[in-house]
């Protein structure tokens, strides 16, 4: 392996800028605030929540956690979202997903005020993102991939990128963000014919398929850049990505680790979005 693309230096560089922006807002009497809406107590949600609280505390951003029971009704969730929408002191709203099956996620996505939708889940922000509007809030993990490239000065113009995964949370939005940087993007998934061949064609392989160690060395070309977005827990309880890191890191030109890669940047992107919303809402 020639280069490890760690997330910590990216997050630290972003924090320097965000601290200054938060301080400026506070001088102007604006106190950025995020509302987290969490249903149940999934371990991954709780882990992400702790990371957010730690990051926001360092950056001077207030956080309110709205913790709802696993069996909460649709009406109760939407009522809490309405409260956050109407609260002038709340600038950003983050709903942890996936939600329990008895809840209608589509309705909940539409219930979030687009101006406070700091994780890009509303249909309005999704539409703006696909139109190429730079003012749209992109999903934080997708945006974190772009921040990694910006920090490490990885040129994207004309590069052949394969995005492995087609979800609206990461796969499709990150493809749109990379297209906006003039990359040539192909979206693949588990049903793609000759998937390994398609992946080997990539100069840059973004792995967001949600399966532990799914991407093996035979799917990666020598000197490729591999961005692992996956967060999985294997049978032994170890946190691993979508890439077989040990094997692929011997082949790739550069690779992001899990943990410590894209995920480490996601909370900084979230903070950036909250600050942007606070500046716009006032």
| Residues 248, 144 share a domain | yes
CATH number at residue 105: 3.40.50.10860
Give pLDDT tens digits for 56-94: 999 999 999 999 999 999 999 999 999 999 999 999 999
**Domain annotation covers residue 23:** no
**Domain annotation covers residue 281:** no
Confidence band for 23, pLDDT divided at 50, 70 and 90? very high
CATH number at residue 204: 3.40.50.720
- The mean pLDDT value for 191-197 works out to 97
Residue 239 tokens read as: 């946190």
Contact (CB, 8 A) for 3 and 253: yes
Report angle CA 270, 271, 275 to the nearest 5 degrees. 120
Contact (CB, 8 A) for 4 and 255: yes
Provide, for the chain, the percentages of residues in helix, strand and coil under a 3-state DSSP scheme, each rounded to the nearest 5. Answer: 45, 15, 40
The total number of structural domains that make up the chain: 2
| Residues 243, 169 share a domain | yes
| Residues 255, 180 share a domain | yes
Residue 51 tokens read as: 């990371």
Residue listed under structure tokens 């082949």: 251
| Residues 144, 109 share a domain | no
Give me the chain's average pLDDT, please. 95
Nearest to 137 by CA among 156, 114, 154, 165: 114
Residue 45 tokens read as: 């949600």
- The SS3 call for residue 232 is strand
Q: What percent of the chain has a predicted confidence (pLDDT) above 70?
A: 99
Give pLDDT tens digits for 124-178: 999 999 999 988 999 999 999 999 999 998 889 999 999 999 999 999 999 999 9
pLDDT of residue 173: 97
| Residues 149, 254 share a domain | yes
**Domain annotation covers residue 2:** no
Give pLDDT tens digits for 252-264: 999 999 999 999 9
- Rounded-to-integer distance, Cα 94 and Cα 121, Å: 9
- Rounded-to-integer distance, Cα 181 and Cα 175, Å: 10
- Rounded-to-integer distance, Cα 90 and Cα 93, Å: 8
pLDDT of residue 47: 87
**Domain annotation covers residue 103:** yes
The alpha carbon of 264 is separated from its chain's Cα centroid by a whole number of angstroms, namely: 10
**Domain annotation covers residue 7:** no
Nearest to 36 by CA among 270, 215, 195: 270
- Rounded-to-integer distance, Cα 139 and Cα 53, Å: 18
pTM of the shown model: 0.94
**Domain annotation covers residue 244:** yes
**Domain annotation covers residue 17:** no
Q: Which helix (H) or strand (E) holds 74?
A: helix 74-86
**Domain annotation covers residue 240:** yes
From edge to edge, which strands make up the β-sheet containing 160-164? 3-4, 254-255, 225-228, 204-207, 160-164, 184-188
Instruction: State the virtual CA torsion across 208, 167, 125, 59 in degrees, nearest 10.
Output: -30
What range defines the domain where residue 106 resides? Answer: 29-113
Residue 199 tokens read as: 């992946």
> Of 78, 113, 148, at which residue does a domain stop?
113
| Residues 149, 91 share a domain | no
């Amino acid at each position: 392996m020639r280069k490890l693309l760690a997330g910590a230096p990216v997050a630290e560089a972003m924090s320097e800028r965000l601290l200054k922006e938060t301080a400026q807002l506070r001088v102007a009497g604006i106190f950025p605030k995020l509302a987290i809406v969490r249903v149940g107590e999934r371990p991954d949600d709780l882990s992400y929540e702790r990371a957010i609280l730690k990051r926001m505390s360092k950056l001077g951003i207030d956080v309110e956690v709205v913790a709802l029971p696993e069996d909460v009704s649709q009406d109760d969730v939407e009522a809490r979202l309405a409260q956050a929408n109407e609260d002038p002191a709340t600038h950003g709203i983050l709903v942890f997903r996936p939600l329990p099956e008895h809840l209608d996620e589509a309705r909940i996505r539409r219930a979030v005020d687009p101006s406070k939708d700091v994780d890009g889940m509303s249909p309005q922000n999704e539409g703006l993102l696909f139109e190429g509007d730079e003012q749209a809030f992109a999903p934080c993990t997708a945006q974190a991939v772009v921040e990694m490239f910006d920090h490490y000065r990885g040129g994207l113009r004309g590069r052949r990128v394969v995005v492995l995964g087609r979800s609206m949370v990461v796969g499709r939005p990150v493809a749109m963000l990379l297209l906006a940087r003039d990359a040539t993007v192909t979206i693949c998934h588990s049903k793609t014919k000759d998937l390994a061949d398609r992946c080997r064609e990539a100069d840059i392989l973004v792995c967001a398929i949600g399966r532990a160690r799914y991407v093996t060395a035979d799917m990666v070309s020598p000197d490729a850049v591999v961005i692992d977005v996956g967060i999985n827990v294997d049978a032994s309880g170890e946190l691993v990505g979508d890439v077989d890191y040990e094997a692929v890191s011997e082949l790739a030109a550069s690779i992001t680790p899990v943990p410590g890669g894209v995920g480490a940047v996601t909370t900084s992107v979230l903070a950036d979005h909250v600050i942007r919303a606070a500046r716009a809402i006032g």
